[in-house]
Structure 1
Amino acid sequence: MKNNKLYIILFCILFFSFSSFSQTEFKKINFELLYSKKNPIVGANIVVENSNPIIGTSSDLNGKAELDVKNENAKVLISYLGPSDLNFEIVRNTYLIKVNIQKNTIIFYNSNLKKIKRVKIE
């Protein structure tokens, strides 16, 4: 009986230790990409730089996209049909990123939709 309990305890320790190594924490970042207030950027590619395997997504018909990132401060590349690509680092605690090409701005919001940071696109 004692041996069975010991085996069960060892099995649980091994199982949980291996499962914790195999899990990687991802954070979902939402994007809203616009040329101007009512003109979304459709089909823009959003990629985490230097990710292996490649982590990326595309914006939908409303200019919205979701991206799962491992590193909260990851560098992101957004490519679209336009004058140039956008390259920036995600700000810590970001839930939503709004890009407006006409206003030349990238705005980072937290999960309460409170503005964290505003960056001018150069």
Structure 2
Amino acid sequence: MDSYLGSYATLGLLLVAAVLVFVGAFSANRLLSPSSPAEPAGKREAYECGVDPVGGDWAQAQIRYYVYAYLYVLFAVESVFLFPWAVIFDRPGFGMTTVVEMAIFVAVLALGILYAWRKRILRWT
């Protein structure tokens, strides 16, 4: 029974320590940060490489850039999974299991590539 309550005491002490660190950090920020009630003109204005901001703050991005980013992430994840598979492929006991798992994985990726190809996403023009 003592170890049961002891684990709750440990959790409670951890929570108290976390709250103290949180309050201490915000208090230190409040005490140590400089405060200037009169900010210079333009201090909160957006700064972009020395060029004055022109126009509104809303910009439209084309969806094809997101598709390219998604395809890049898809192939990056594929390479992350293919490398460990290639490392353990020839170890005893992993042969057929790893072949089947990787066949399923590559088949799902192939379906994604086929879909992108059919929708003409992978064209450069």
User: TM-score, length-normalised on structure 1?
Assistant: 0.25
Larger of the two Rg values belongs to structure: 2
Structure having greater relative contact order (Cα 8 Å, sep ≥ 6): 1
User: TM-score, length-normalised on structure 2?
Assistant: 0.25
Q: Which has the higher strand share?
A: 1
Q: Which has the higher helix share?
A: 2
